[in-house]
Chains A and B, each alone.
Chain A
Amino acid sequence: MENFFSRYKNPLVLMAILFVQVVVLATQVKRPEGSTASAASGGTRLIRLWTINTMSPFERGFVSTSRFFRRNFHNYIDLHDVRKQNRELQDEVAQLKLEQVRLRVDADQAKRLQTLLGFTQHYVGQVVPAQVIGTSGAEQVHTIQIDRGSRNGGIKVDMPVITPDGIVGKIKDVQTFTSTVLLISDRESGAGVILQSSRLQGILRGSPQGELHVGDIMSDEKIDAGEEIVTSGGDRVYPKGLPVGTVIRVAPDRENDPFLSIKVKPAADLNSLEEVLVVTKITGDVPQTVAGASNLRAADILSERLPSVPKPDETKKTGGPAPKAPVPPGTGASTPHVSVGNVKAPASTPAKPAVAAIKNGTEGSTQQTLQKSQPPVKKTSAGGPAGTGGQTVSGNASGVSSPQTGAATVPPKPKSPVPPAKQAAPKAIPNAPNPGSTAGNPVASQSKPADTERPPR
């Protein structure tokens, strides 16, 4: 027997250590439902804690030292070009001020609309800056270590981590002075996203290769490369509207046949992160509007952006309804002339993107109701131009939400800074009166002349 052990000592030791390792591995893999296989628990968490706490001071020291020298060197180099750069920056500031004025007007309008529609927005309330001090060290695992933990930053698990360029990931594990961030490029990662121009929602997932893909979007949707992607807020981790990345390739998903596989280039450079922001507080609020704006009806707000109503003579010359507008399919622009409340405009006006997005949430029922039940009644309101051939559908108290109106009456606008989500609209709109019920009812529409008799702005 002794001879046996001495002869096969090495393989036996190998088997013994292998057995111990497999048992340790099994204790980590076998855990209650709902938790991931990689989650640390019990003793293994303690081992991780010890290791990270031992190593992280060295990493922090190394990062700080290298940063000190690099910064001083760059400061010296930067002084050479500072005057020229200052001049360029001043020019840029002037341009940005002009841009800011325009954006502020748009933002105020968007807030007013969102307030009226009962939107609840989630803002980044508070952030904690953190320095990246390490990676996972493995090609297949995409995590980073940051120098903020529970004690020196109030970090908690699942807090989103971002940079000014875009989202980075979320907190996976928290130690006393450090934390582990699971990058969005990791295969275990996931985030609710929305494609900015098409307003399609999907789920962003990572891969072992560190690539980002958006799934759960049907293959019949048209998505172009270059489209921006932002967070949808639906995952309850990342606040809504944060940049995620750009679509770089769209192809059918071989594994999930009816869906698309959309490859995404992350907005934040995940391969060279130095400093990140941990979002420690997210505020959920109905957006504050400017003073006095809450009394405005949404229709009034929209009417500010409307073009002037065409003169009756011009309309008569055309001999009937205006030509159809080049609106996207399904926008309900087939109704010749639609007016909600005091908002009147020819249907030839293309849709405004922001309102069109709101409209998309309710267009299904309302559009069909209008097209089926609305006879082409010529009704001229007191304040409206006579003989425009227009059909007037009176809105309700805040009848902005009439999808038809949004599609048919609002002038085009290149970009909307805060476009409401296509899918978010139906959730938020129930607080607002349903325009479809009124719009689809010709009796109701004709029984409220007061709304239609307000003079146009």
Chain B
Amino acid sequence: MNYAAVSLTSREEIEVHRFSWPVSFGIPILAIFIQVFFPLRLHFLSVFDLPLLVTIFFAVARRRPIPGMVTGALIGSLQDTWTSLPIGVNGIAKMIIGFLASSLGVKLDVDNPGSRFLMTFVFFLVHRVIYVVIVLWLVGGNEPFSWGHTMVAALANALLAVVLFAGLDKFKQRI
């Protein structure tokens, strides 16, 4: 009962899922692969951040903060290896998002499209802010921040997340 007092859902409503090893490794790698390959032909696709969406999905599905943040750190660091940015910029940002998403998944029902849209929208903005802060303060680089562009990107990613998460739900294995 104590739990119900701080949660919007009961323990029974929260389903904790796990994923097979091929899915756990294959989907993040595939997301990074698509992220670096598809903008070659369709440049506007670079507005999407597929590794972030996959991080959020795994985090909220597992509903365990430590695996969530480790997944985020690994995916982010792997993404950093492709960029010329120092390794850790995306790693830190996605790790924090993984932690927040899995913590949120414990407390909220994040399996319906509306909450997924809203959650991804907010997490994209938070991720962007963390990213900019890291680049500015830790790396000492120059990272202009455009609210207009960020909001549009957040909207696009949130819409994609609704579709993507519905597809990825098929890989869930109920514990």
| With known contacts A10-B66, A132-B40, A48–B87 Cβ distance under 8 A | yes
Q: In the complex, A21 Cα to B94 Cα: how many Å?
A: 11
User: Of residues B35, B43, B88, B142, which shows the largest number of chain A Cβ atoms within 10 Å of its Cβ?
Assistant: B88
| With known contacts A132-B40, A134-B36, A271-B43, A21–B140 Cβ distance under 8 A | no
The minimal Cβ–Cβ distance linking A419 to chain B, given in whole angstroms, is: 34
B85 touches A137 (CB 8 A): no
| With known contacts A28-B88, A51-B82, A59–B139 Cβ distance under 8 A | no
B83 touches A136 (CB 8 A): yes
Report the count of interface residues on B (CB-CB < 8 A).
Answer: 46
- The main secondary structure of chain A at its interface with chain B is mixed
B144 touches A208 (CB 8 A): yes
The stretch from B9-17, B73-81, B112-120, B158-166 touching chain A is: B73-81
B99 touches A21 (CB 8 A): no
A115-140 contact mask (Cβ, 8 Å, vs B): 1 or 0: 00000000000000000111111111
Q: 8 Å CB contacts to A: which residues of B133-171?
A: 134, 138-144, 153
Provide the residues of chain B in CB contact with A17, threshold 8 Å: 69-70, 73, 95
A38 touches B70 (CB 8 A): no
Residue of B at shortest CB range from A138?
Answer: B83
| With known contacts A14-B99, A37-B141, A136-B36, A25–B92 Cβ distance under 8 A | yes
Interface flag for B56 (CB, 8 Å)? no
A138 touches B81 (CB 8 A): no
Report the count of interface residues on A (CB-CB < 8 A).
Answer: 50
Interface flag for A5 (CB, 8 Å)? no
Residue of A at shortest CB range from B36?
Answer: A137
B65 touches A47 (CB 8 A): no
Q: In the complex, A134 Cα to B41 Cα: how many Å?
A: 10
Q: In the complex, A133 Cα to B39 Cα: how many Å?
A: 11
Interface flag for A13 (CB, 8 Å)? yes
B142 touches A272 (CB 8 A): no
Residue of A at shortest CB range from B92?
Answer: A21
Q: A28 contacts which of B70, B79, B86, B103 (Cβ < 8 Å)?
A: B86
Provide the residues of chain B in CB contact with A9, threshold 8 Å: 66
A140-151 contact mask (Cβ, 8 Å, vs B): 1 or 0: 110111000000
B86 touches A38 (CB 8 A): yes
B40 touches A172 (CB 8 A): no
Q: 8 Å CB contacts to B: which residues of A22-42?
A: 22, 24-26, 28-29, 37-38
A140 touches B87 (CB 8 A): no
User: Of residues B73, B87, B143, which shows the largest number of chain A Cβ atoms within 10 Å of its Cβ?
Assistant: B87
B84 touches A44 (CB 8 A): no
| With known contacts A9-B66, A37-B141, A188-B84, A273–B35 Cβ distance under 8 A | no
The minimal Cβ–Cβ distance linking B44 to chain A, given in whole angstroms, is: 9
Provide the residues of chain B in CB contact with A272, threshold 8 Å: 40-41, 43
The minimal Cβ–Cβ distance linking A213 to chain B, given in whole angstroms, is: 13
Q: A10 contacts which of B78, B99, B144 (Cβ < 8 Å)?
A: B99
Interface flag for B110 (CB, 8 Å)? no
Residue of B at shortest CB range from A27?
Answer: B86
Provide the residues of chain A in CB contact with B51, threshold 8 Å: 137
A162-183 contact mask (Cβ, 8 Å, vs B): 1 or 0: 0000000000110000001010
Q: In the complex, A145 Cα to B69 Cα: how many Å?
A: 29
| With known contacts A14-B69, A22-B138, A272-B41, A135–B46 Cβ distance under 8 A | yes
Smallest CB-CB A-B distances: 7 pairs:
A25-B88, A137-B36, A271-B43, A28-B86, A51-B81, A137-B35, A10-B65
Given contacts A14-B95, A25-B87, A144-B40, 18 further A-B contacts (CB under 8 A): A21-B88, A24-B88, A25-B88, A25-B92, A29-B138, A29-B139, A48-B81, A55-B32, A55-B33, A132-B40, A137-B32, A138-B46, A138-B79, A138-B85, A141-B84, A143-B83, A186-B84, A208-B144
Q: Which residues of B contact A (CB under 8 A)?
A: 29, 32-33, 35-37, 39-41, 43, 46-47, 51, 65-66, 69-70, 73, 77-79, 81-92, 95-96, 99, 103, 134, 138-144, 153
Q: Which residues of A contact B (CB under 8 A)?
A: 9-10, 13-14, 17-18, 21-22, 24-26, 28-29, 37-38, 44, 47-48, 51-52, 55, 58-59, 62, 132-141, 143-145, 172-173, 180, 182, 186-188, 208-209, 271-274
Query: Can you show 22 pairs from A to B with CB atoms below 8 A apart?
Result: A17-B69, A17-B95, A18-B95, A22-B88, A25-B89, A29-B138, A29-B140, A37-B141, A38-B84, A38-B85, A51-B78, A52-B82, A62-B37, A132-B40, A134-B40, A135-B37, A136-B36, A137-B35, A139-B47, A180-B84, A182-B84, A187-B142
